[in-house]
């Protein structure tokens, strides 16, 4: 067993875990935070995406011992009490989900993606690498979110929700 101390959604959690315990298992089984979903278990679908120190990461590919002393934010950590995070509210407004299984990972990825965009990190489709700012075009958004899959086909609502949140945050 390995002792870990991980800050999850602002609260420090200390536990003894098997060194093979995945972060998604730690969140769901030890902490009972079931908003982080297990999809493909291979890091392909993005359903298990959380933020580790503000950077999106696949919880199904990350060992709990790897995040010792770090900060993890799950979908449960975005809302403030009964008030949804503005991106969560945008997903509701734009029907950015059907079954909702991918939604937590989509939202955590989008928050990290927009922070990355704000830092000027280019993507594979960024046209002008020397530009002082990168615009969130349709192609940029789809490329940056391409690691999150939605089997229901709610992609248009997801894109609309992210665009709406981005435009409101920019004002």
2-77 in CATH: which number?
3.10.20.30
Q: What is the pLDDT of residues 107-140, one digit of tens each?
A: 999 999 999 999 999 999 999 998 888 999 999 9
Condensed to tens digits (0 to 9), the pLDDT of residues 22-46 reads: 999 999 999 999 999 999 999 999 9
Tens digit of pLDDT for each residue in 10-22? 999 999 999 999 9
In the chain, where are the structural domains located? 2-77, 86-170
Express as a percent the part of the chain with pLDDT over 70: 100
Biggest distance spanned by C-alpha atoms of the chain: 49
Q: Give the per-residue pLDDT at 169.
A: 83
Read off the tokens for 6. Answer: 């991980």
Is 24:36 a contact under the CB 8 Å cutoff?
Answer: yes
Residue 51: predicted pLDDT: 97
Q: What percent of the chain has pLDDT over 90?
A: 84
Q: Which residue has the tokens 């991980």?
A: 6
**Number of Cβ atoms within 10 Å of the Cβ of 168:** 12
- pLDDT for res 12: 98
- Mean of all residue pLDDT scores within the chain: 94
Whether 157 and 95 have beta carbons less than 8 Å apart is answered as yes
Q: What is the CATH number of domain 86-170?
A: 1.10.150.120
């Amino acid at each position: 067993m390995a002792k870990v101390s991980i800050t999850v959604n602002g609260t420090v959690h200390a536990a003894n875990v098997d060194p093979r315990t995945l972060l998604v298992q730690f969140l769901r089984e030890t902490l009972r935070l079931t908003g982080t979903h297990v999809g493909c278990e291979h890091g392909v679908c993005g359903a298990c995406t959380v933020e580790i120190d503000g950077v999106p990461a696949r919880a199904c590919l990350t060992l709990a011992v790897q995040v010792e002393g770090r900060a993890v934010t799950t979908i449960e950590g975005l809302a403030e009490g009964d008030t949804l995070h503005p991106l969560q509210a945008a997903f509701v407004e734009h029907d950015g989900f059907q079954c909702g299984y991918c939604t937590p990972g989509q939202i955590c990825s989008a928050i990290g993606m927009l922070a990355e965009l704000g830092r000027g990190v280019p993507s594979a489709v960024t046209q002008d690498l020397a530009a002082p700012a990168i615009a969130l075009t349709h192609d940029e958004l789809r490329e940056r979110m391409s690691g999150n899959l939605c089997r229901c086909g709610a992609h248009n609502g997801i894109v609309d929700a992210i665009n709406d949140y981005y435009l409101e945050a920019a004002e």
